[in-house]
Amino acid sequence: MYETISSPVDYGGLTLKNRMIFAPTSMGLSQEDLVERLKTIAAGGCAMIIIGDVPVLPHGFAPSLYTKKGFAFYSALADAVHKEGCKLCAQLHQSDSNMRAMVKYIPGVLTKRISMEELRPLLNQQVGPYITGLSEKKVEEITRAFGEAARLAMEAGFDMVQVHGDRMCGSFSSAVFNHRTDRYGGSAENRARFGVEAVSAIRCALPQVPIDYKLAVRQEEPHYGNAGVLESELPVFVPLLEQAGVTSFHVTLADHGELSDTIPPKRHPEFGAEGCFLKFCDEVRGLTKLPICGVGGLTDPDFVEEQLRSGRIDCAAMSRQLIADPSWPKKVQEGRAGEIRRCVRCNKECLGGMMAHRGVHCIYEREETA
């Protein structure tokens, strides 16, 4: 009944045992708890887990590939996931947060005069000046670092790398933030240069490695997302990224707006439906023959099977649904789809838990411990 979901696929040079991927997610958990959570998700039958926000430079908010402790953590994570027959992808990430600008908000956050909901737009206001003011020398240093970070990731045991096309890549891509007048700003071709150079650096360092690209798309009429690639500019960006060495695209909505837009609840005015971001996949599909992974409120195996069978997408990525029920893939493959605990997209303990700094969880966990 779900033959396509369960079938293997060549995802840009990496063979996946089925079409289900755990989407990159900031879990907000301790390293020990994160390993256990991802082991459970891997054991549930998905083909690959994407680890979000792996820092490109030696410093960053997440564990660093450049330190013994950070490298050991990623190696242990790879071993744990591989034991469950699951692949692991490192989402290479460079923050576009202005650290100096962040310092002035620390007292307000510590005294709770500034909530996390209020902090996000304050930081987003700093992105444009920061991106626009970076020297060309610093930009080139960052894009070159993608190659070394990818090399370390593969050495640590990852099977694939993904370039985070939001955050700094997305901010350089976006005319909303990028007001540069040099070769990294102005035209769509120039604004694509940062992402292209990042991919090229990886391809130069690792000629054979599969390179996924998180393609963050900005929508207008109505406006959603501030970073990323404007829909009308996709015909410029997609071929340039493919020529640079991208082997697959992970397509979603651009960030730097409300988190409830990129992680939309079921009541969202624009993105409340199942498969809410797949329309962006349709646009990318017309521009490339490379594999495409779709994401966005996917929960229903019948719906997912149809999208895969029709060729609309090649893989389906989930986050909240696999947090709600890590065994979604296994239950589908074993003919137990009726036993799936469906994500209701309430965002109470996943997005809510992340914003409250207690980690990403699910309302079903509360029911289990009640």
Catalytic residues: 167
Q: How far apart are CA 47 and CA 6, in angstroms?
A: 10
Please report the beta strands in the chain, taking only residues with DSSP state E, as ranges in sequence order.
9-11, 14-16, 20-22, 48-55, 87-93, 160-163, 211-218, 229-230, 248-253, 292-295, 315-318
Per the listing, tokens 């005319």 go with: 175
Q: Which string of DSSP letters, residue by residue, matches 155-183? A: HHT-SEEEE-TTHHHHHHH-TTT----ST
Q: Which amino acid is at 94?
A: Q
Please give the span between the terminal C-alpha atoms of the chain, in angstroms, as a whole number.
35
**Measured between alpha carbons, how far is 104 from 217 in angstroms, rounded to an integer?**
31
d(CA 351, CA 320): 9
